[in-house]
Structure 1
Amino acid sequence: MSASTDNPRNALVIPVLGRFYAALHDGAETLLRVVAGGFLAIHGSQKITNPFGAAEMVEGLGFYPGALWSLLLACTEFFGGIFIAIGFLTRPAAFAGLFVLLVTVWFHWVTMGQGYSGAEKSLLWAAILLFFVIRGGNRHSVDNRIGKAF
């Protein structure tokens, strides 16, 4: 590796922007986590008010008993979204949400026959949650504050 590629700032067309990017790095990641978790919790808030309301739908996807899976779906989206937003148990919460989203990809792409266009939003959400499964909550998280990460 040459000296010019050892430091990513040296590879920038405008090297002075390196300081700007470095200053915003953690903040941008935190903002993405808070927004993703918040949106997941908002989406789940519709389900948490009637946690068994999706029982027939999940049984239609092959998940039995429907009441159990409906409850888990509601909790995963609502409480998991809150956990992701605040960065508490970030990796397990993101993994559970990722599982839900991969099921929705299957549902839209295969079961409904909508292909990529039907699954596009779920694929994007899955990619975001996969990022947090791998990265965790970063330094602006409850996980970091308590000094524990999964």
Structure 2
Amino acid sequence: MALQSTTRSRLIIPALAPVYTSAHETVETILRVVAGLLLVTHGFGKITNPFGTIGMVEGLGFYPGIFWSPLLAATEFFGGILVTIGLFTRPASFAAMIVLLVTVYFHGIVQNQGLMGAEKSILWAAIFLFFAFRGGNSHSVDARLSRTF
């Protein structure tokens, strides 16, 4: 209660405090679902051809590509599904964050695009970092199972 009254007194429009308090879990869930679905969409092409990125992953120094390429496909596609439904949210989000940090390196350094080329990957990595620490919240399969990492 003290936290809510402190927050309420700091708001420019204190009447919005109930809206913020009641909607924060729903908005967080929407962010998790959207991030997960976009990761699934991004991984769909890779999962239909799991060995299609062998050259790319080996070009980044990940050998053997025959191992890393399907792992990348599975992380994006199945990891996105797990994040979307909120099952094993923390490890799936952590894996997605690692993949996205590699894309930051790829776009920013390898392709010499700098911040402009890496900024979307940085944003996505930060979103998945959030869920790696926060978990799936009460609107997740993790919460229904009463188990989480």
- Please indicate the TM-score interval, normalised by the length of the shorter structure: over 0.9
1:107 aligns with 2:106: yes
Unaligned runs of 5+ in 2: none
Q: 2:101 is aligned with what amino acid?
A: L
1:116-146 deviations in Å (ceiling 9; x for gaps): 0000110010010011011000000000000
1:135 aligns with 2:121: no
Percent identity of the aligned residues? 60
The answer as to whether partners of 1:55 and 1:66 remain within 8 angstroms in 2 is yes
1:18 aligns with 2:27: no
The Cα shift of 1:13 comes to 1.2
What is the distance in 2 between the residues matched to 1:118 and 1:141?
Answer: 33
Q: Partner of 2:63 in structure 1?
A: 64
| TM-score for both structures, normalised by structure 1 | 0.95
Unaligned runs of 5+ in 1: none
Q: Partner of 2:76 in structure 1?
A: 77
1:79-116 deviations in Å (ceiling 9; x for gaps): 00000000000000000000000000001111111100
Q: The residue matched to 1:16 in structure 2 has which SS? A: helix
What is the distance in 2 between the residues matched to 1:140 and 1:66?
Answer: 37
The Cα shift of 1:67 comes to 1.0
Q: 1:118 is aligned with what amino acid?
A: G
What is the distance in 2 between the residues matched to 1:18 and 1:91?
Answer: 29
What is the distance in 2 between the residues matched to 1:8 and 1:135?
Answer: 21
C-alpha RMSD of the superposition: 1.4
Q: Partner of 2:37 in structure 1?
A: 38
Q: The residue matched to 2:17 in structure 1 has which SS? A: helix
Q: The residue matched to 1:67 in structure 2 has which SS? A: helix
The answer as to whether partners of 1:4 and 1:10 remain within 8 angstroms in 2 is no
The Cα shift of 1:4 comes to 9.5
Q: The residue matched to 2:14 in structure 1 has which SS? A: coil
